[in-house]
Amino acid sequence: MNPLNHVAIIMDGNGRWGLKYKNSRKAGHKEGINTVEKIIKETIKNKIQYLTLFAFSTENWKRPNKEINYLFNLLETFLEKKIDDFHREEIKLKIIGTKKFSKKLNKLLNNAEKKTCNNKKLQINLALNYGSKSEILNSLKKMNKKRESVNEKNLIKYLYTKDIPDPDLLIRTGNTKRLSNFLLWQLAYSEIFFENKLWPAFNEYDYNKIIKRYKKVKRNFGNV
């Protein structure tokens, strides 16, 4: 049975779910939060150490302003409501990506990270304004500036994920098979499961089914 320390998730399909069932993309994002909560609980039950959630990509700025504002308002409310619970449940929150949001959201994110930084039960890495290509380029630029030799060890040192083991498992919901500029370096040897269900419809049962299948995969990391 494969150990499972780190699950990464591309939570795709909110907009489509919302349009299909509530005639509004926003309603899909709102419902998506409930799935986030369910999956966090189940991650703890499964004693998984790291959960990385792709919440907003550098490319998502192309969306209409109204949708972007709605998403960030949801995130603010979520943090205001949940951060004490997270802390009580010994969850550490870390943001990966560049924090360039409103003053209010930046402050909430910084406070949440600070408050939970010593928690050990589960680390949630929330990818916000995250893009993998720019993360890697930024690393290369730093090595270059410091005249360091270009090798894996030095490159990894400048990634947002520098102290986090690579994901063992990537799940993408929403019936789409692509990586969308997410953790391109870190996913080199991850097992990838594409799920047809849209994120708001994804549940604990689906999650556990994937975990069970993952545990039985023969992982050989290039070996035989």
60 catalytically annotated? yes
168 catalytically annotated? no
Of the pair 53, 109, the CB lying nearest ligand FPP is at 53
Residue 12 within binding range of ligand FPP, rule CB under 6 A: yes
Q: Report the alpha-carbon distance of residue 224 to residue 208 in Å, rounded.
A: 28
DSSP for the chain? -----EEEEE---HHHHHHHHHS-HHHHHHHHHHHHHHHHHHHHHTT-SEEEEEEEEGGGGGS-HHHHHHHHHHHHHHHHHHHHHHHHTTEEEEEES---S-HHHHHHHHHHHHHHTT--SEEEEEEEEE-HHHHHHHHHHHHHHTT----HHHHHHTSTTTTSPPPSEEEE-SS----TTSSTTTTTT-EEEE--S-GGG--HHHHHHHHHHHHHS---TT--
Please choose, out of 44-52, 70-78, 111-119, 182-190, the segment that lies near ligand FPP by the rule CB under 6 A: 70-78
Q: Which of residues 16, 20, 87, 215 is near ligand FPP by CB under 6 A?
A: 16
Q: Given 5, 46, 60, 119, which residue is catalytic?
A: 60
Binding to ligand FPP (CB under 6 A): which residues in 188-217?
Answer: 199
Binding to ligand FPP (CB under 6 A): which residues in 105-134?
Answer: 126
Q: Is the dihedral of CA 106, 108, 109, 115 positive or negative?
A: positive
Q: Which of residues 9, 26, 27, 29 is near ligand FPP by CB under 6 A?
A: 29
Residue 168, token pair as written in the block: 């063992």
Shortest Å, Cβ 163 to ligand FPP: 21
Region label for 99, one of left (φ > 0), alpha (ψ between -120 and 50) or beta (otherwise): beta
Residue 14 within binding range of ligand FPP, rule CB under 6 A: yes
Shortest Å, Cβ 198 to ligand FPP: 6
Shortest Å, Cβ 59 to ligand FPP: 10
Q: Which of residues 32, 97, 131, 167 is near ligand FPP by CB under 6 A?
A: 32
Using CB under 6 A, count the residues that bind ligand FPP: 20
Of the pair 123, 139, the CB lying nearest ligand FPP is at 123
Q: Active-site positions? A: 12, 60
The residues binding ligand FPP (CB under 6 A) are 11-16, 29, 32-33, 36, 53, 55, 60, 71, 74-75, 78, 126, 174, 199
